[in-house]
Amino acid sequence: MRVGALEAGGTKMVCAVVEFDGQGGWKVEDRVSIPTRMPEETIADMVEYFRDKKIEALGIACFGPIDLHKDSPTYGYITTTPKAGWANCDIVGPFARELGIPVGFDTDVNGSLMGEANFGCAKGLENSVYITVGTGIGAGIMTNGKMLHGMLHPEAGHLTLKRHPEDEAFESNCPFHASCFEGLASGPAIQKRWGKKGVELADRPEVWEMEAYYIAQALVAYIMILSPEKIILGGGVMHQPQLLPLIREEVKRQANSYIRTSQMEDLDNYIVGASLGDDQGILGAACLAMEVC
């Protein structure tokens, strides 16, 4: 089965053709990255890319907020994003009309989790969470074997967090919330607080201790509410190798031995990095296509 996969982001649109062999094997046959400009021209370029690729369906894993309710008049739209030009933008419709194939649609983070759940480190599990810590922060959630959508879809990156004692004065980078996870711990928040990009702060332990404090606080909340069997962390900020061990230490400290499961006793295998070498997003989008085939 040959499908199209689109990982739709605010900076770039990754378009790919993925071939599944029906035995659990997959291959990314082709891939391009198209810079995200205004919707009309960007979508037109992507439609042209997919047009002659002989794909049976397309999956779109998209930045949000998005409308996932099939019976809504704005199903398949990006809704209230601050990204210039993209609010109230129909992203599913043009592909469905122009390509004449079924289109699957979910959040970017649900997509990445589907990649991990079908082909990566969450395979075989019914309850897992994928968190991206990048330009924004978001979480994809699988619960009892299904992706969680609910009223809208989870916006777990906007969880309110308690301030680190040495971070009381920092002005949150989220225009909506004075002390949310994304506002305090996203890549741009790190840059705003410390005056340099994360990649240039690798040798400053205090940066990563504070980052781990915030990420761990969010993870403990997800653990308490969602009871996941695996927590996967991806996104640009997680490319700092010292961060994951610090996060595990902080989760252990903050959870304070209250939950005693085999997973909590073995945090190295419970809280892990993305396992598909940054292909989880595109594979997840391909899984969204397979769902509608």
CB of 124 to ligand ADP, least distance (A): 26
Residue 19 neighbours by CB distance under 10 Å: 15
Instruction: Please report whether residue 36 would count as binding ligand ADP according to CB under 6 A.
Output: no
- The entry of Zn ion, ligand ADP, none near residue 102 (CB within 5 to 8 angstroms by kind) is none
Q: Give whichever of 118 and 173 is closer to ligand ADP, judged by the CB atom.
A: 173
The residues, any chain, with a CB within 8 Å of residue 254's CB and separated by 6 or more, are 216, 217, 220
Q: List the one residue from 142, 174, 215, 216 that touches Zn ion (CB under 5 A).
A: 174
Angle between helices 205-226 and 243-255 (to 10 degrees): 50
Residue among 34 and 55 whose Cβ is closer to ligand ADP: 34
178 interacts with, out of ligand ADP, Zn ion, none, CB within 5 to 8 A per kind: none
Burial 103-130 (b: 16+ CB within 10 A, else e): bbbbbbbbbbbbbbbbbbbbeeeebbbb
Which of positions 149-168 make contact with Zn ion (CB under 5 A)? 158
- Which position's Cβ is nearest ligand ADP? 187
Cα-Cα-Cα-Cα dihedral of 34, 36, 41, 43, to 10°?
A: 70
Place of tokens 């309850």: 127
Span from 77-85, 158-166, 196-204, 251-259 in contact with ligand ADP (CB under 6 A): 196-204
Residue 180 interface partner, choices ligand ADP, Zn ion, none, CB cut-off 5-8 Å depending on type: Zn ion
* C-alpha–C-alpha distance, residues 126 and 290, integer Å: 19
Number of residues forming the site for Zn ion (CB under 5 A) = 6
Six token digits for residue 245: 């061990």
Query: DSSP string covering 60-98, please?
Result: EEE-SSB---TTSTTTTEE-S--STT-TTEESHHHHHHH
User: Residues with Cβ < 8 Å from 189, sequence gap 6 or more?
Assistant: 172, 173, 182, 183
Sign, Cα dihedral of 237, 59, 126, 120 = negative
Member of 66, 113, 237, 287 binding ligand ADP (CB under 6 A): 237
Q: Does 236 bind ligand ADP (CB under 6 A)?
A: yes
Nearer to Zn ion, 176 or 258 (CB): 176
Least distance (Å) between residue 17 CB and ligand ADP: 21
The correct pick among 239, 249, 264, 275 for binding ligand ADP (CB under 6 A) is 239
225 binds ligand ADP (CB under 6 A): no
**Residue 183 in the binding site for ligand ADP (CB under 6 A):** no
118 or 240: CB nearest ligand ADP: 240
Beta-strand runs (E) in the chain: 2-8, 12-20, 26-35, 58-62, 77-78, 89-90, 103-107, 128-133, 137-143, 146-147, 230-234, 271-273
Which parts of 124-143 interact with ligand ADP (CB under 6 A)? 134-136
The one among 235, 247, 288, 289 contacting ligand ADP by CB under 6 A: 235
> Is residue 192 involved in binding Zn ion (CB under 5 A)?
no
Q: What is the binding site for ligand ADP (CB under 6 A)?
A: 9, 11, 134-136, 187-188, 197-199, 235-237, 239-240
